[in-house]
Chains A and B, each alone.
Chain A
Amino acid sequence: MDLSKGLSGAFANAPGIVRSAFVHYDVSDPVEHLARALGVSGDPSAGNETAPEFELVILFVSSDADCAPLIKSAKERFAPAQVVGCTTAGEISQAGYASGEIVAVAFPRAHFAARIILIPDLDLYDPQTVIEQMIRNRHDMMREEPDWGSEFTFLLIDGLSTREDELTSDLAVGLGPVPLFGGSAGDGVDFGQTFLLHDGQAHSNAAVLMQLRTNCPIKVFKTDHLIPTETRMVVTGANPEKRTVHEINAEPAAREYARMLGKDPEQLNTFTFAAHPVVVRIGGQHHVRSIQRVADNGDLVFFSAIDEGLVLTLAEPQNMVTHLEQEIAALSVGGPPDTILACDCLLRRMEAQQKQMTRPISRILAENRVVGFSTYGEQLNSMHVNQTLTGVAIYPPPPKASDATEPEQT
């Protein structure tokens, strides 16, 4: 394991293209620790040329932390790099599954150009404006770095907004050929409030859209380890706006769900939902409709869109470890990625915990330089999905004389 310990407990991965570092939220001045670990120069105003210049720094902040002052400090410390972030339902650091951490992912200017759009209010935004801005940003970056050939869009959205489908649908038009992926910000397992961090401020019911252009080859992916069974149920009563199902098979939802599982309705918890997801089948594909919790009135609250008349199919999870290995192998066909920026569903972590697969999975994640956070949901292009591992694999750029290798600093 190539981890090098920074000055005060901050860990950084071996120098690659994309840098990352993590620090416990509890340490004093975590931002400084992160800055040192990432190799950002001590005195930004002094202008240390040997330090790598970063275009963008993303912070995945544990919901335990106080993110408002954090982001403020980060903005100053990492300047002139742009700093964004969100709260999480858990982190994925260089050690794999983590919690209570602040994970920083830094994109050096030498390889990345980034434009950021904040949608401060998911209830009140004009899709058209956003789209136009997106298109403008994209062209700007094309002008700036015409030789760089890879583009992707990273979305961070409030996971309790219930607005993910709408937003992704609206934004799809403006994507063009650029793939989009993203994750829904979380609040641990409290499901209380989530925050999006942008420009030194924390927002709720908001979304942060990052458009990146790079000379590194990239691959956006979505994967899940679930296989639909033959057991179906019909949603006979639901409140789509609130993503709640109150009646399945003309019976109270939770009770009927539990019956179909053969479980006690009083014993339903996140682990159960993780272990027994339901999927909807559209076209030839299945899409997980993850259950968030059981409401007090016995309604099932979902993480994603539902409607009356949906046929839900129970799905069986495969072996997570095997599946993850296969997926990583598939991503490494052309060579191992430099970094995998991942949005991993909370429920996967839950299932891993329940099945005591956390360590092997963490190992795999760490070995393959996966960084990111655990989400309340994931986005891919125009879809909002659940119970997936979605992200982007960033590969080292092909050797070219024009790209000077950054002088490494620890």
Chain B
Amino acid sequence: MTHSLIDPRDTLERQNEKLLKISQTLMRRVEQSTDASGAAYAQFQRAVLLEEEVGARTRDLERALDLLNESNARLAVANRETEAARSDLANAIETIQEGFALFNPDEKLVMCNSRFGMHMPDIRDALKPGLSFTEYVTRVSASQFLSLPDSERPEDWLKRRLTRHKDDHVIFNVRMIWNRWVQVSEHRTGDGGTVILQTDVTDIMRLERQERDRMLDDQARLIRATLEHLDQGVCIFDAGARMVGHNQRLVELLAIPVVRFHMGATFASIFDRFRDKVDFSNGMAPEDIENWVATRDHRAPLSFEIRQGGSRTLAVFAQEMPDKGFVISFTDVSAQRAAVQAIREVNETLEQRVMERTLELEDALEEAERANASKSRFVAAASHDLLQPLSAAMLYVTSLEKDLPTQAGQQVLAKASNALQSAENILEALFDISKLDSGRTAVMVGSVPLGSVLAQLRDEVQPQAHKKGLKLSIVLPEVNVLSDATYLRRILQNLVSNAIRYTEQGRVLVGARRLQNAVRIEVWDTGPGIPEDQQDIIFGEFQRLNATASAAEGMGLGLAIVDRACALLGHPLQVRSIVGKGTLFTVEIPLAPPELALSSPTAGILPTGTAKGLGNLIVMLIENDAELRGALSLTIEGWGADVLACGSEEEARALLNEIGVAPDVIVADYQLDNGRTGAQAIQALHRQVGMLPACIISANRSTELSDECAILGLELMHKPIDADALRGFLQAAQPVH
């Protein structure tokens, strides 16, 4: 740039000259030594510099102003918002029903609505923001509108108020004059300020009061009605022992003049009236009662009795009430006392009578037992005595068979035999019944093969049925039942016999129906049937429906026996019948458990052997009854055996000593003379001659006998003796050749 400053065409000298001038001018300028004529430029220069500075300042100011404006604007916005919020709040609290005030954490009033300070116009003006809380409550306490009870001064109220203020939540009621009420609730805010709400509860209080009064009225009426309803006499006293309530019954019970008995009457005045007229019981004295009434301490309930005039007894109960008053109740217990007394007397006589009666009954029982016992003895004896000759007769008749070859003779014999049989049957039946009735029957319950029993039965009755032209079918179930074999046989025999006897045509069916644990034997017949009204009677003794049936066909004892036997064994017995169609008898017998051994007492059931000769068997017979002895001997000899007949044990032993020959078998009657038994006899003989098969014959069917025989290993046959059975035994006893 410098090269253009100086014209390059100039000579160097000229250039130098010029440059020198330029530099000098510049130097003068720099040193600011221009003259006054340059004032204008100098002014300009100054002006420019000033302008720059002013400009800069102005810009700064403008910026500052902008910031200020901005912050003013923000402040204005914030102020507006604050104002709006404040205004909203003020509006909100103005709309609520309650008086509202907010105090800040410094206890200064921040804002309140126009209802705050309600009912207290004299403090309203002071309720401006900034008012301190203490100042506020002080003014309230001093307000002429505040209604305090006489006992409380404003200072007291103020103190209490300030104490309450310390709590976070307080609610209490303030009473104003003219019976107005304000409920004040104070709450601590989150930041430690206080909110006060005032609610006008005047109406509520009034309503409550009305309600309470009404309730009191209602209650009073209720109490009065209840008191009057009670059967007790009641009187109520207040803490000062003055009467405040009673009922009519009390007046009746105590017979106190109404004059004495008014509200407010003192206990003492009432008590004086009658304390001398009554007797106190339980060791209670009138003074005790007076002391109780008078005491200031807590009183325990008091209970005693008083007697008026000897006939009336009153139970008295006195109890303290919560307000230190007390209530006394009187109950007329005269009737109760009298009742108690009567009962006691009756009780005593009752015991006496019971004792008397018991004695009577004992006597009666003894007599009954004696009667029973004698009856049993009689029956036993009678049957025994009856059975013996009968047995003999039967045997004689039997033995006659071969001596009467003629037809007519045989017929007569048969009839005789039948008659005897009938007699035997009847006797047996009576014997059984008697035994059953006496309750002394022992049963030997064991496993009984039902099939075998029924088979035997079938064989027995088949001829009978066939003779009458009846079809007889008997089912033979392969079951073992739990029962007494003998009785079972008797039961079934009776039922089937009856069925055959009473059925003129048709059939008799004996079936066995399997039940869960039992077998039901059903005996069907197509007989005339039994009318319903007679179905009970048939089980009675000597009852026969068809009286035309001959005596030979039984005397109607069969069902009686069946009935009793079934009862004894616990086998349910039932009958169903339709007149004109037929009858069904059923007996339910329980099944024998499998573990029961099949060994059943076979007393009385022996395999019927075929008739065979007994060839030279030596039978020792011990039978004290001569008739029977003779009959038996005959019978046995009729079979081909030799009989050594003896009447007693001694005889037998003597005989054996005499002949020196041991018998093959012994048959002994159990009941021998002089209290000896056949068993003893047999045992004695066994000692003498060694073990021999032996048999006891007896009318005694008790279990004791059968047990004894079983223990001793003796056969037992019951009288009347079954000839075949005896024969079978003897055959079995034959020594093997």
Q: Interface stretch among A29-37, A83-91, A306-314?
A: A306-314
Which residue of chain B has its CB nearest to the CB of A242?
B37
Instruction: Please name 23 pairs of A and B residues whose Cβ atoms are closer than 8 Å in the assembled complex, sorted by A.
Output: A165-B43, A172-B47, A231-B1, A232-B1, A233-B5, A234-B25, A240-B37, A240-B40, A250-B22, A282-B45, A282-B48, A283-B52, A305-B43, A307-B34, A307-B38, A308-B25, A311-B26, A380-B51, A381-B47, A382-B47, A382-B51, A383-B47, A384-B44
* Given the contacts A250-B18, A382-B51, A236 and B45 also touching, CB distance less than 8 Å: no
Interface pair B25/A169, CB less than 8 Å apart: no
Which chain B residues lie closer than 8 Å to A251 at the CB level? 7, 18
Which chain B residues lie closer than 8 Å to A166 at the CB level? 40, 43
Which residue of chain B has its CB nearest to the CB of A306?
B41
- Complex-state Cα separation, A31 to B721, whole angstroms: 188
Decide if A168 is an interface residue (CB 8 Å cutoff).
yes
Which chain B residues lie closer than 8 Å to A234 at the CB level? 5, 22, 25-26
Which residue of chain B has its CB nearest to the CB of A380?
B51
Interface centre among A172, A239, A260, A383 (most CB of B within 10 A): A383
Decide if B39 is an interface residue (CB 8 Å cutoff).
yes
Decide if B171 is an interface residue (CB 8 Å cutoff).
no
Decide if A193 is an interface residue (CB 8 Å cutoff).
no
Interface pair A172/B50, CB less than 8 Å apart: yes
CB < 8 Å: which of B22, B39, B51 contacts A236?
A: B22
Chain B residues 9-52 with CB under 8 Å of chain A are 17-19, 21-22, 25-26, 28-30, 34, 37-52
* Given the contacts A172-B50, A240-B39, A250-B18, A304 and B5 also touching, CB distance less than 8 Å: no
Convert A106-149 into 0s and 1s, putting 1 for each residue whose CB lies closer than 8 angstroms to a CB of B. 00000000000000000000000000000000000000000000
Interface pair A249/B40, CB less than 8 Å apart: no
Chain A residues 363-384 with CB under 8 Å of chain B are 380-384
Decide if A285 is an interface residue (CB 8 Å cutoff).
yes
Which chain B residues lie closer than 8 Å to A383 at the CB level? 44, 47-48, 51
Chain A residues 201-234 with CB under 8 Å of chain B are 230-234
Chain B residues 90-131 with CB under 8 Å of chain A are none
Q: Chain A's nearest CB lies how many Å from the CB of B626?
A: 169
Chain B residues 371-410 with CB under 8 Å of chain A are none
Chain B residues 46-62 with CB under 8 Å of chain A are 46-52, 54
- Complex-state Cα separation, A169 to B51, whole angstroms: 10
Besides the contacts A172-B50, A249-B6, A381-B51, what 13 more A-B pairs have beta carbons closer than 8 Å? A166-B40, A168-B47, A231-B1, A232-B5, A236-B25, A241-B40, A243-B40, A250-B18, A250-B21, A306-B41, A381-B47, A381-B54, A382-B47
Interface centre among A162, A166, A234, A260 (most CB of B within 10 A): A234
- Complex-state Cα separation, A380 to B54, whole angstroms: 12
Decide if A259 is an interface residue (CB 8 Å cutoff).
yes
Which chain B residues lie closer than 8 Å to A240 at the CB level? 37-41
Which chain A residues lie closer than 8 Å to B38 at the CB level? 240, 307-308
Chain A residues 295-320 with CB under 8 Å of chain B are 304-311
* Given the contacts A230-B1, A308-B34, A382-B50, A259 and B40 also touching, CB distance less than 8 Å: no
Which chain B residues lie closer than 8 Å to A304 at the CB level? 44
- Complex-state Cα separation, A168 to B40, whole angstroms: 11
Interface residues of B (CB under 8 A from A): 1, 4-7, 17-19, 21-22, 25-26, 28-30, 34, 37-52, 54
CB < 8 Å: which of A236, A285, A380, A381 contacts B21?
A: A236
- Complex-state Cα separation, A240 to B4, whole angstroms: 25
Which chain A residues lie closer than 8 Å to B40 at the CB level? 162, 165-166, 240-241, 243, 305, 307
Q: Chain A's nearest CB lies how many Å from the CB of B600?
A: 138
Which chain B residues lie closer than 8 Å to A239 at the CB level? 37
* Given the contacts A234-B26, A250-B17, A307 and B41 also touching, CB distance less than 8 Å: yes
- Complex-state Cα separation, A166 to B52, whole angstroms: 18
Interface centre among A162, A249, A310 (most CB of B within 10 A): A249
When A and B form their complex, which 8 residue pairs have the shortest distance between CB atoms, in order from nearest? A309-B29, A307-B41, A250-B18, A250-B21, A307-B38, A305-B40, A382-B47, A305-B41
Interface residues of A (CB under 8 A from B): 162, 165-166, 168-169, 172, 230-237, 239-241, 243, 249-251, 259-260, 282-283, 285, 287, 304-311, 380-384
Which chain B residues lie closer than 8 Å to A172 at the CB level? 47, 50
Interface pair B7/A309, CB less than 8 Å apart: no
- Complex-state Cα separation, A384 to B40, whole angstroms: 10
Which residue of chain A has its CB nearest to the CB of B40?
A305
Which chain B residues lie closer than 8 Å to A380 at the CB level? 51
Which chain B residues lie closer than 8 Å to A309 at the CB level? 25-26, 28-30, 34
Task: State the main secondary structure of chain B at its contact with A.
Answer: helix
Which chain B residues lie closer than 8 Å to A307 at the CB level? 29, 34, 38, 40-42
Interface pair B1/A249, CB less than 8 Å apart: no
CB < 8 Å: which of B5, B18, B48 contacts A287?
A: B48
- Complex-state Cα separation, A169 to B50, whole angstroms: 10
Q: Chain A's nearest CB lies how many Å from the CB of B47?
A: 4
Q: Chain B's nearest CB lies how many Å from the CB of A83?
A: 30
- Complex-state Cα separation, A332 to B626, whole angstroms: 174
Q: Chain A's nearest CB lies how many Å from the CB of B34?
A: 6
Q: Chain B's nearest CB lies how many Å from the CB of A36?
A: 42
Which chain B residues lie closer than 8 Å to A384 at the CB level? 44, 47
- Complex-state Cα separation, A234 to B18, whole angstroms: 11
Q: Chain A's nearest CB lies how many Å from the CB of B389?
A: 163
Q: Chain B's nearest CB lies how many Å from the CB of A181?
A: 12
Which residue of chain A has its CB nearest to the CB of B53?
A283
Interface pair A249/B18, CB less than 8 Å apart: yes
Which residue of chain B has its CB nearest to the CB of A169?
B43
Which chain A residues lie closer than 8 Å to B25 at the CB level? 234-237, 308-309
Which chain B residues lie closer than 8 Å to A232 at the CB level? 1, 5
Interface pair A169/B47, CB less than 8 Å apart: yes
Which chain A residues lie closer than 8 Å to B54 at the CB level? 381
Interface pair B49/A283, CB less than 8 Å apart: yes
Interface pair B47/A241, CB less than 8 Å apart: no
Which chain B residues lie closer than 8 Å to A305 at the CB level? 40-41, 43-44
- Complex-state Cα separation, A283 to B46, whole angstroms: 11
Q: Chain B's nearest CB lies how many Å from the CB of A191?
A: 18
Q: Chain B's nearest CB lies how many Å from the CB of A202?
A: 26
Which chain A residues lie closer than 8 Å to B50 at the CB level? 172, 382
Which chain A residues lie closer than 8 Å to B48 at the CB level? 282-283, 285, 287, 383
Interface pair A259/B7, CB less than 8 Å apart: yes
Which chain B residues lie closer than 8 Å to A259 at the CB level? 7
Q: Chain A's nearest CB lies how many Å from the CB of B19?
A: 8
Q: Chain B's nearest CB lies how many Å from the CB of A316?
A: 15
- Complex-state Cα separation, A384 to B21, whole angstroms: 29
Interface pair A285/B52, CB less than 8 Å apart: yes
- Complex-state Cα separation, A58 to B18, whole angstroms: 50
Q: Chain A's nearest CB lies how many Å from the CB of B57?
A: 11
Interface centre among A234, A250, A306, A380 (most CB of B within 10 A): A250
- Complex-state Cα separation, A384 to B47, whole angstroms: 9
Which chain B residues lie closer than 8 Å to A237 at the CB level? 25
Q: Chain B's nearest CB lies how many Å from the CB of A115?
A: 23
Which residue of chain A has its CB nearest to the CB of B21?
A250
Q: Chain B's nearest CB lies how many Å from the CB of A108?
A: 29
- Complex-state Cα separation, A46 to B121, whole angstroms: 68
Which residue of chain A has its CB nearest to the CB of B20?
A250
Q: Chain B's nearest CB lies how many Å from the CB of A168?
A: 7
Interface pair B41/A249, CB less than 8 Å apart: no
Interface pair A310/B43, CB less than 8 Å apart: no
- Complex-state Cα separation, A166 to B22, whole angstroms: 28
Q: Chain A's nearest CB lies how many Å from the CB of B735?
A: 163
Which chain A residues lie closer than 8 Å to B29 at the CB level? 307-310
Which residue of chain B has its CB nearest to the CB of A287?
B48
- Complex-state Cα separation, A311 to B39, whole angstroms: 17
Which chain A residues lie closer than 8 Å to B41 at the CB level? 165, 240, 305-307, 310
- Complex-state Cα separation, A166 to B44, whole angstroms: 8
Q: Chain A's nearest CB lies how many Å from the CB of B30?
A: 8
Which residue of chain B has its CB nearest to the CB of A168?
B47
Q: Chain A's nearest CB lies how many Å from the CB of B64?
A: 14
Which chain A residues lie closer than 8 Å to B45 at the CB level? 282
Q: Chain A's nearest CB lies how many Å from the CB of B35?
A: 9
